[in-house]
Amino acid sequence: MQKTKRTSAASKSQAAPTKEQNDSMLQELFLDELRDIYWAEKHLVKALPKMQKAATSEELATAFEDHLAVTQEQVARLEQVFELLGEKPRGKKCEAMEGLVKEAQSVIEDTEAGTSTRDVGLIIGAQKIEHYEIASYGGLAQVAKTLGMEEIGNLLGETLEEEKETDQLLTTLAENNINESATQEVEE
């Protein structure tokens, strides 16, 4: 005789969420994460000019200046996403970005102006920021696709590519000469 199929009595009695409720929970999470990255980008708009000013090499200063313009566009792109969702753009404090920016600022305090050593520290700090953004946009773009929001997914994907390019540019700057030139610097 065949065994009777096991019924999941436990999950049934706990009134498992319906598909619709599941979606709305995911949508809520999605919105919450959008608010996090919106706050993060706006925070970065304030921080990048300080990093630009602190940079020793012209190339790194220009990279920060360019990324400021890109970041401002990314803020506007997120506002477009909120609009498509029928939501007012609203930020939610992102503790991670606040911490990452603080770290980058402490590099400025802990290094001497006009040195490549400072630039090495700024690049590492900036790459930590880019990696946080890459993780955020990668996840958000994927969720947007899962939820069938193609246009929003594409917008988030565009930003994701920009963050990856910035990360790559910073690696190139470090490899080309900044790291090497920092090896020549000694404490007086």
74 lies in the site for Fe ion, by CB under 5 A: yes
> Tokens 């910073």 map to which residue?
170
Q: Please work out the total of residues on this chain that contact Fe ion, with binding judged by CB under 5 A.
A: 5
Please say which residue, 126 or 182, places its beta carbon nearer to Fe ion.
126
For the bound state, the minimum distance from the C-beta of residue 110 to Fe ion, rounded and expressed in Å, comes to: 23
**Residue closest to Fe ion, measured at CB:** 74
Q: Closest approach of Cβ 166 to Fe ion, in Å?
A: 5
Tokens at residue 107, please?
Answer: 């590099």
If binding is defined by CB under 5 A, does position 136 make contact with Fe ion?
no
Burial class (CB in 10 A: 0-12, 13-18, 19+), 90: exposed
Measured CA to CA, the distance from residue 112 to residue 121 in angstroms comes to 11
End-to-end CA distance of the chain: 87
Residue 176 CB, nearest distance to Fe ion (Å)?
20
CA distances from residue 28 to 40, 178, 179 in whole angstroms, order as listed: 19, 44, 44
Report the distance separating Cα 61 and Cα 44, nearest Å. 15
Judged by beta carbon, residue 134 or residue 182, the one nearer Fe ion is 134
36 binds Fe ion (CB under 5 A): no
Stretch that binds Fe ion, among 7-15, 27-35, 131-139, 171-179 (CB under 5 A): 131-139
Q: Which is nearer to Fe ion, 145 or 164 (CB)?
A: 164
Per CB under 5 A, does 163 bind Fe ion?
yes
Give the residue ranges of DSSP H helices in 55-112: 58-84, 95-110
Q: Are 60 and 97 in contact (CB under 8 A)?
A: no
Provide, rounded to whole angstroms, the least separation between the CB of residue 11 and Fe ion.
Answer: 41
* Interface contacts to Fe ion, rule CB under 5 A: 41, 71, 74, 133, 163
